Structure 1
Amino acid sequence: MTAPLTHLGDMPIEEFLRHYWQKKPLLIRNAFPGFESPISPDELAGLALEEEVESRIVLEKGATPWELRNGPFDEKTFETLPESHWTLLVQAADQYVPEVNQMLDAFRFIPNWRLDDIMISYAPDKGGVGPHFDYYDVFLLQGLGKRHWKIGQMCDNDSPRIEGTRLKILSEFHTTDEWVVEPGDMLYIPPGIAHWGNAQGDDCMTYSIGFRAPSHADIISEVGQEVALSIADDLRFSDPDLKLQNNPGEIGAEAISQVQKILQQHLTAENIAHWFGKFMTERKYLDHTDEEPMDIDADEWQSALADGELLWRHPSARLAFHSDAKGTLLFADGEAICCSRELAELVCKEVEISWRELKELVQDPQNRAAITQLVNQETLLVDE
């Protein structure tokens, strides 16, 4: 397991969070000293051939300006690409390459539930995806070769875009800073800041560590649907103090106030926490298998651990927990599970768990049931 970063270059993490996180860009020279890419360009291209892997190719001078092609690709695709001005993007590479997955642990100074995945891009000379901005924070770690980055203006939905492409390429870019980065250098970009990176020479690979940032629209829509499932159908809008109106067509302030009270009644901190934990731990990419999983009972996994096997966190697993006066909920891959806070902390913190760490905790039947559920939904894997 990689330890979380304590510094970005010479800067303590607390200073970074106070002065840069979601505020302004930061270049960190030699953020990962001696960094060596855990995956080669050929291996990345190999991932893009796989059906279950989300991949894209962007050609600056394709059939349209900034042409977007979606994978999976075949070997012939790569043989016919031009010598420059294109980029291959492979999403969620951390779910397919264990060494890439371990890189996420370095960024756990940001809460687990905010971390998303690692996208890897490969580009020959002058390859890039054009001037753009993102709605989320991103760390851009240079893995191989060199990339020339330009930082631009703050953008929003009204920022002008180039027409005729499926990508959201900015038609205006006002450079405020620019750097050439090399392996181990890392750039932090807050949401909304325009940026534009182009490969400088061949074999340029960049690791993009992204973060989840649900839109306000998603939050309102999703929490409403979740909470509605638990509300009895006989709870209805009511107005026992109705007064005669001058015009029957008017919706009065009293009616609006009643609707507000209904929302406040159901959108409690407890209900929101229950929804938010499940929503933020849902897996974006699910495992595809034709095999029907076989349930494992508590005796089986306990016996395996007592014999020296370990519980491993699935590379795609997403975990978080929330405690209040009623107890602790562990959120795992979109499910809410009751358990002790001690167990929740252990499962969220450790990549591998031994019997020695669990033995005392699973004397509690609730904790034992929680581990059994985590094993059967393959959040935790039993392995030597």
Structure 2
Amino acid sequence: MDTALTHLGEMPVEVFLKDYWQKKPLLIRNAFPGFVSPLSGEELAGMALEEAIESRLVLEHGEDGPWELRQGPFTEEDFLALPRSHWTLLVQAVDQWVSEIADLKRRFRFLPEWRLDDVMISYAADGGSVGPHFDYYDVFLLQAEGKRLWHQGPKATDSSPRLEGTPLNILKEFEPENSWLLEPGDMLYLPPQYSHWGIAEGPCTTISVGFRAPSAKHILEDLAAEVALHLPDHLRYTDAGLERADNPAEIDPAAVRRLQEQLRTLLEQPLQIAQWFGAVMTEAKYPDIVAMDAGDAADWREQLLQGATLMLNPASRCAFSREPGTLFVDGEALPVDEGFAVQFCAARTISAQDLDDYPEIARESGLIDTLVAQGTLIYPPEDF
């Protein structure tokens, strides 16, 4: 069943996508009516004790100076030693560990799922924040518990002055253009690069749903390497039809245009780019967590026939393309039946019925064996 939001508050999703997505901020009052946080601050702190979970503490008035950053995992003693106010705990990828948060993330499937990143949750003591800053990606900030005052400023860039003496990218200059007090169920949407500063008014919890946005630098570096890998050595720079040069030492505009056209031809390979893009956008953010489950479902054939199911590891990512039928999982492009790819990405499970409908996935060293061996397919944990 598709649980994706159809409205953001009273606004239809189509209006949001047309007028706000990647264009301008939007405050959505009562986006989740009657919202009750799936996690308390105490439970979030408990997660920060685990070595496999990425967590951070930000202290506005730290022992080593202002805006001190501490990396987890933490101990109970670390939390007991914290001041009464002006600190924030941040825990990444909570959707990989808590089923209720994974369900919440699915509400945002009105956007391409392969664009969704992880869900971060922050707990802040009174006055706690991470300072004025900006992100390079879209983010929805859902107030889960307590109240937080959000200040939204202008767009910022790499050249915007930063505060020195802290590893955090805190803006040195920040002038609010809008300010809103958010209560549980309220949500703030911010497009990339809009500066913002959230300050807790009493203890509070905020859920951040972020999106993947690879940089142009990363795209060009990675794509160029992928395209070059498949190019034969005989393809070279050519200049047939060359005219007599006015100055033989000059690299003239015609030569540059000729090179641009040749590069454009090499990049106009939709299939190859689609395969690369699907792999890049499904790379696991925490591959070590996926690898922890490698081979745990090695007896899957017998178990599925007895009524068990396999599910996509919560730390894994998947997407598909239709022409040709390809399943992208954890950075790999796997050729499969289009119908199976569509079904699996929607259900994220495999049952005995799938073996009847798509017997090729059950072959020895086939799709299921491959995904089980790398930890991508697992038996459902008790809390999922």
The structural deviation recorded for 1:367 is 12
Per-residue CA deviation, residues 210-261 of structure 1 (Å, 9 max, x unaligned), is: 0001111111111011112212234333445556545443223443234324
**1:163-178 equivalent positions in 2, closer than 5 A:** 163-178=164-179
Pairing of 1:160-309 with structure 2 (within 5 A): 160-202=161-203, 204-239=204-239, 245-267=245-267, 268-287=269-288, 293-294=294-295, 301-309=300-308
Counterpart in the other structure of 2:359: 362
Q: CA RMSD in A?
A: 2.6
Task: Name the CA shift for 1:53/1:301 in 2 (closer, same or farther; >3 Å).
Answer: closer
Structure 2, unmatched stretches of 5+, are: none
Q: Which amino acid aligns with 1:333?
A: D
**Who is 2:146 aligned against?**
145
2:321 is matched with which residue? 322
SS state at 1:145 partner: strand
Counterpart CA distance in 2 for 1:289 and 1:340 is: 24
Cα displacement string for residues 112-155 of structure 1 (whole angstroms, at most 9, x for unaligned residues): 11000011111110000111111100011111111111122122
Cα shift readout 1:158-201 (whole Å, capped 9, x = no counterpart): 22322222212122222222221112211111111111111111
| Cα distance change on mapping 1:358 and 1:34 into 2, 3 Å | farther
Distance 1:291 1:45, change over 3 A: closer
1:338 and 1:366 in contact (8 A); partners too: no
1:32 is aligned to 32
Counterpart in the other structure of 1:345? 342
User: Quick one: distance in 2 between partners of 1:383 and 1:54?
Assistant: 22
Aligned-partner Cα distance in 1 for 2:284–2:197: 29
**Do the aligned partners of residues 381 and 233 (structure 1) sit closer, same or farther apart at CA in structure 2, a change above 3 Å counting?**
same
Q: CA deviation at 1:335?
A: 0.3
| Stretch deviating more after TM superposition (123-132 or 364-373) | 364-373
Q: TM-score, normalization: structure 2?
A: 0.90
The match for 1:98 is 99
2:290, 2:374 within 8 Å by CA — same for their partners in 1?
no
- Equivalents in 2 of 1:216, 1:207: separation in Å? 28
Cα distance in 2 for residues equivalent to 1:141 and 1:197 = 12
1:59 Cα deviation from its structure 2 partner: 1.3
| Mapped partners of 2:211, 2:291: distance in 1 | 31
Q: Percent identity?
A: 51
Q: Does 1:378 align with 2:360?
A: no
CA contact (8 A) 1:362 1:368 kept: no
Instruction: Report what 2:21 is aligned to.
Output: 21
Q: Point out where structure 1 has 5 or more consecutive residues left out of the alignment.
A: none
Structure 2: distance between partners of 1:290 and 1:221:
26
Deviation at 1:43, TM superposition (A): 2.0
Distance in 1 (CA, whole Å) between partners of 2:192 and 2:119 is: 17
State how many pairs are aligned: 379
